[in-house]
Structure 1
């Protein structure tokens, strides 16, 4: 068993995809770095924190992008985002079996905020274009930095989300919430609270991810193979269904009564023994989700 969380971006690519099949576009040898970081005197990475290319998975051609959490927390800047957009636009032309996004990002880089925000919006548009063309977009989340900010929105635009129990997914990261609203609102140092609120188990139980797996590269590989060829339609009906789900959450009595902990929400959803969920293994948690 190889821990997905402990792998670098390129280690995940090597372990997840068919052996030796990855061909990288714009590799580090091209030295495509962020001009903004250089102007600010901030160290750069020769791949700007993301590896993109084509490969095979289970014998099928896929396009893949893997964000490197060790470089600026996987933050999205102009070049980083342009590489993601370029990958997705090429998928529109070449129509691979799927596009895999190995997401690990704290969101947009503060160093190039406007450029990063624009880049994220372009990535979102490109993801929806690829989906509309019938090519499934599968997001894998299990890195130590989680998937927050703009990349959290990108993930929810995809066909499928695969998460491990140590993965995290949300719009605002714990530190951002605490900085904006105070520690009384959310204590980012409370690791148990953070994972109850944003972790893979919570996202599985609330229906915000499509597969919950162990922190194991093989488990992620198997889940990604299962997701290939199972694209979800992008239509008015699916959009309205999503809006209805979100509206129902807003109207939920729990939200009005101040039930601000995930355990209360799980109990409200009918999860038996909700207080034991954090201690359960992945298989047990998968069995708890209402049909």
Structure 2
């Protein structure tokens, strides 16, 4: 039961009961509610600014973790960029130089992505700069990897071609040194054994007993094994590809047939003295793109430096050829 309140009236010298008007009660109630709401708002506002909720703390931890992950990702990208730069340097300055390919320009390797803004959807966030830069680095790194991958594919193809080229080029002496009587005549102006007139001798003559084995000087295909070429008698021609052809003349007999594939060092025939020949020997020629060239430069695969120097000395003598 609520207490009854009185007040003293000096005019009547008596106590009178306090009669509270409804309007006044409503006013007090309104100000009480308003004050309560105001102080509640202040409390909630201050609390939201300085006191974190469990959900906010969890979100803040996730954001911090995401930032750490991006930092780790950037460090990994730095390492990948360093490794890729090293591969690119070796690619340009070793591999492509060795295989005679043009180096890839730096601007082609490091080209970015111009034109349309590819990262517009990543703008407007607290860490947009970090996220955009990371994405740019990843995209550029991916492009560099594609460029490098294509370059290595090209190098692989060039290496395969180089390996085939090295196997195809005539690179050994067609008659073993132990079977030679002597290196009779080299490439250059020589005296013709029949007319005694100096003329161009476009091959090398290896003097050896009849029946001495003759070996293919490089991989290739037999294009001719016949005696239908004036002066050569029984002879063999091997197409090595890459513009190279080797010719073996004055044979006693063949050990191959036309269109047969052969490897360097295969036995292809035997020394004889057929055709325009003064005695048993092998006349050996090399063609490059249809032109005869000096065979002396094509023995790096079978002779030591000392043997080559002796051969070079003998081939330089302007003596009489055997055909």
User: TM > 0.5 between the two?
Assistant: no
Structure having the larger proportion of residues in helix: 1
User: Which structure has the larger Rg over C-alpha atoms?
Assistant: 2
Structure having the larger proportion of residues in strand: 2
